[in-house]
Amino acid sequence: MTDTTLSVCCIGAASYDRSLRLSEPAVVGTSNPAKSEFFCGGVARNIAENLSRLSVSCQLHSVVGDDAAGKQLIDETRAVGVNIDGLAQLPGENTASYLAAIQPNGELFLGLADMAIFESLDVRWLQSIWTGISPNAAIFADTNLPADTFRTIVAHAAAEHRRLFVDAVSVSKARRFPNNLNGIETVICNRDEAKVICESDNDDVAVLAGILCTRGAHTAVVTSGAGDIGIANATNSWTQDFEPIDTVDVTGAGDALIAGLIFGRMHELETHESVRLGVKAAALTVTSKSRCSPALSKEKLLAEISTIPT
C-alpha cells in the first residue's frame, strides 16, 4: 500500500531504452555479436518507478513523443503506480532513447543517448507545473533537463525551503550545475561527474563530496562504481565500503541507489543509513535484467534497517 504521507515529485528524463548484451568482450572497430532487449527507462522515470515500488506516492513530470515508444512508456509507468498527469506527449516528436552496449560481465561498454526532446522542458514549462507541486512533496531532478531549467529548480528549492535531491547523470551534463549548490538537500553523482562539478582533479570520493558541500549542498554522495562511496555534510566527510555484488546488468543501478537513498531520507534516517538502503536497492537491480527490479520492495529494504516503521 502506498504511503500518501510520503510524496516525491520526479522531474527529468523518461526514455525508451535498448540494451545490447555482448556475447564476447567488445572489440572496437568491428561487428560484435549481441542480444537485444527493450525497457522503459529514463533517470527520473526509473526513480519514480522504484519509489512507487517502495510504497512512496510519486508524480512524474517529463515528456514523450507521440510514437509507439511514448505510448508504451505512458502505459507501463502508469501500471506501476506512478502518477503520470505531468507526463506530456509532444506531437511530431520522437520519444527519448538510450542504447546501452553491455559487456558479458554486466559492465557498461558504451551508452548512447538521444535526449533532444527534453529541450522542450524549458523554464516557461517549469513555471507552468511548479505551482501544482504539493508544498509538502520532496523533489528529485536530473540534469537531462536544460541547464536553465535545472538551475531554476535549484533556485526555487532554496527560496521555498523544499527538499531537493539531484543527480548529475553524466560527465557532460554535470556542467549544468550552478556554482552555488544552496537549495540542494542531497547531490548524487559519480567520481568523474563530481570532478567536473568541483573543477577538481582529486580522485578521493570523500574529498569530492566535501567540496560539493562547501559549495552549498546540504549532503553529497559520490560513487565510484563498485568501490567506496564518499559521503559528506556540512561538518564531516567519510567513505563507506560495501560487499561486492554479482552483476547481471549495471544499467539502472544508480537510479535504484538514489531511490533507496530518498526513501531513507523521507523516513528521516541518517545519510549513511539511507545510503545503505540505496546500495541494497542497487544490488537488487544489478542482479536483474530490468532497469527497475520487480523484486524491489519496502519489505526488502526494511530488512536492512530496523528503525523504519512498517
Per residue in 196-231, pLDDT (tens digit) is 999 999 999 999 999 999 999 999 999 997 789 999
Closest alpha carbon to 22 in 100, 103, 98: 103
Average pLDDT of the residues in 126-140: 95
pLDDT of residue 310: 52
Average pLDDT of the residues in 169-186: 96
pLDDT at 92 over 70: yes
In a domain, 119, yes or no: yes
209: Cβ–Cβ under 8 A, 6 or more apart, which residues? 194, 220, 221, 222, 230, 231, 232, 237
Helix and strand totals (H; E) in the chain: 9, 13
Average pLDDT of the residues in 265-279: 93
In the chain, DSSP assigns E strands to 3-11, 15-22, 34-41, 56-65, 83-90, 97-102, 108-114, 138-142, 164-167, 186-190, 219-223, 229-232, 237-240
In a domain, 310, yes or no: no
pLDDT of residue 67: 95
In a domain, 114, yes or no: yes
Q: Which of the pair, 49 or 247, is modelled with greater confidence?
A: 49
In a domain, 283, yes or no: yes
Q: Identify the band that residue 248 occupies on the pLDDT scale cut at 50, 70 and 90.
A: very low
pTM recorded for the entire structure: 0.91
Q: Identify the band that residue 169 occupies on the pLDDT scale cut at 50, 70 and 90.
A: very high
SS3 15: strand
251-263 pLDDT tens trace: 678 999 999 999 9
Closest alpha carbon to 165 in 254, 282, 276: 254
Question: For cell 506516492, what's the residue?
Answer: 57
Q: 215 lies in which domain range?
A: 3-302
Range with the poorest average pLDDT among 36-40, 245-249, 262-266: 245-249
pLDDT of residue 177: 98
pLDDT at 8 over 90: yes
In a domain, 243, yes or no: yes
pLDDT of residue 100: 87
Q: Which CATH number is 198's domain given? A: 3.40.1190.20
Query: What's the total number of domains in the chain?
Result: 1
Summary mean pLDDT of the chain? 91
In a domain, 307, yes or no: no
Using CA of residue 49, residue 19, residue 275, residue 198, what is the dihedral sign? negative
145-166 pLDDT tens trace: 999 999 999 999 999 999 999 9
In a domain, 309, yes or no: no
Using CA of residue 8, residue 12, residue 17, residue 19, what is the dihedral sign? negative
In a domain, 104, yes or no: yes
pLDDT at 94 over 90: yes
Highest-scoring range by mean pLDDT, 65-74, 225-234, 249-258: 65-74
Average pLDDT of the residues in 235-253: 73
